[in-house]
Structure 1
């Protein structure tokens, strides 16, 4: 839902880029891929991405992959290596380093802390996770 709200004020190329990113989230995605998909130059897409979304293309893609990996850590029994491979990180070690930098927890600690927590929607349709034990 947040993606839909964000994309409401974005240009068509940016909306197309976001759609491409989320529909190819498990693949390695480059600015060149986005440029080809939207029939624009890579430099144009890079500049437009920074202007409209507020972060670089690579940062956005990395964060989208990390957010998606959080769901697999919470709701699946896939190994860390499988999750790293699924989202096309260069290695499990690289995935773990990026995850730790982003969340402050290693993927293993994150899974231990949040495994099996519920996904709940608030009145504003902003999705949050709460631990069942806190209810």
Structure 2
């Protein structure tokens, strides 16, 4: 008399049957689902707001800072921490909506940019952003 060996494999046929039934149910009910519409707001093209020219803080690889007001014809001027904060406060006192952007060279450490951002935040300079260079094709 020969002994029967135990089978160590899982029978996956019932699972496949269940999956096929679910697939058929979804295929039948999907076309019956209501579609949603999104009403986008429209904007008149003649009333485009003019963007304000920002104050640009440039950080080079030696961690030297220069400040340039893109709204004026003056050249960029080297500044230290105290002078930077004073000039930005003066600019935002005359125009509270004046944006400030930080521009850094490629080789500048992230820490140097964060130091400038922290300095501006501690001194309540509003509307601070980062200037990025678009990807070249």
Larger radius of gyration: 2
Is TM-score (shorter-chain normalized) higher than 0.5? Answer: no
> Normalising to structure 1: TM-score of the pair?
0.25
Q: What is the TM-score when the length of structure 2 is the normalising length?
A: 0.24
In terms of fraction of residues, the more helix-rich structure is 1
